[in-house]
Amino acid sequence: MDLEDTLLMMPGPVPVAPRVLRAMSKPMINHRSAEFAGIYTDCREILSGVFQTKNNIFLLSGSGTAGMEAAVGSVAGPGDKVVAIENGKFGERFKDIAALYAEVVPVVFEWGLPVDLELVKEKLEEGAKAVTLVHNETSAGILNPAAEIGKLAKKHDALFIMDGVTSLGGDDVKVDEWGVDIAIVGSQKCLAAPPGLAVVSVSEKAFEFMNSVKKRPYYNDLKAYKKSGDKPRPETPYTPAIPLFYALQEALHIVKEEGMEARIKRHRVLTEAVRAAVAEMNIEMFPQLNEYSNYSNTISAMKAPASVNGEDIKNDMKKRGIIIAEGQERLKGKIFRIGCMGNVNARDVLSTIQQLEIVLNKRGYIDSVGAGTEAATHVIDRS
């Protein structure tokens, strides 16, 4: 397989712009220098707009999971209760991370089912220091009700910790308006940078809650990041992955040039085009929605047709140079997923749909090709 000709249409990593790759080849610099402080400050300022927040922002050398662990481990300890909402693989991960540091109160739904706010309310009424939510659950293609969870957390004086790993930078995420105390994004998703950086925004309330935690993580201690970030020459507490900071800065300049409103619209339109195409092929969306949930605006999760295994669809697409995703763990073989994250464009989506139609035609599921591509084109053209 020619990697340079392979199209990534998965929920991250995503294709990276050539100018971002070139940025990574810059010379190494002193991470305690004014030059690095300038890069760090520039990234934080642009990210404030992406997060729509006035809260502190920190960059951690690690994946989005590192940001999740930093968030929970910095604010919760033995004896603290954390309400963990799960309706997919990454909600489960958040729950498992929280269990390493505190007493977890799980609110679990079958993967792909919507969050029942009444059940969350009941658990918060019993008392909790924090509540965790995956905003955009890519394992199931469902967008969870962050604004409503934020209201419940505020009412019950609990911190709201939100995994925005696959929504920030590609969807309308209002950290301050929703009352998110700690929000996390990964560099390799909608920000369209290489993997390896986690960005975390932290409210003053969250820092106050940290004072009662005696044993926080060492490397991912958010108080340590604040101490270093508040210096006259801002820095990270430990040696950062400097090439990744170069890359993220360049990727964020691309975000700024496009503008968040236009970027969000592009993600939504292209994901809607995918949904229109698969509907034309009589393929059902996987998640079930209620009045508070929506389909993801950065990835589409579809049920594999009864006659075709989701893993076979993924493998057939890979042979044709397009990388999509199948289901994870209990959903393996049952669903397949197409991402529309980062710098994805209309040509990428239409190429993916065209090849998907050919795959499904060869598998005997559809009789002819073209209807799905036409449906996707219609959505894109009218935008």
User: pLDDT per position in the chain (383 positions), as tens?
Assistant: 566 779 999 999 999 999 999 999 999 999 999 999 999 999 999 999 999 999 999 999 999 999 999 999 999 999 999 999 999 999 999 999 999 999 999 999 999 999 999 999 999 999 999 999 999 999 999 999 999 999 999 999 999 999 999 999 999 999 999 999 999 999 999 999 999 999 999 999 999 999 889 889 999 999 999 999 999 999 999 999 999 999 999 999 999 999 999 999 999 999 999 999 999 999 999 999 999 999 999 999 999 998 899 999 999 999 999 999 999 999 999 999 999 999 999 999 999 999 999 999 999 999 999 999 999 999 999 98
| Beta strands per DSSP E along the chain | 7-8, 56-61, 81-86, 103-108, 130-134, 136-137, 142-143, 159-163, 182-186, 197-202, 294-295, 299-303, 322-323, 325-326, 335-339
**pLDDT reported for residue 42:** 98
**pLDDT reported for residue 5:** 78
Which amino acid is residue 232, in one-letter code?
A: P
**pLDDT reported for residue 1:** 55
Whole-structure pTM value: 0.96
**Distance, CA of 326 to CA of 142 (rounded, Å):** 15
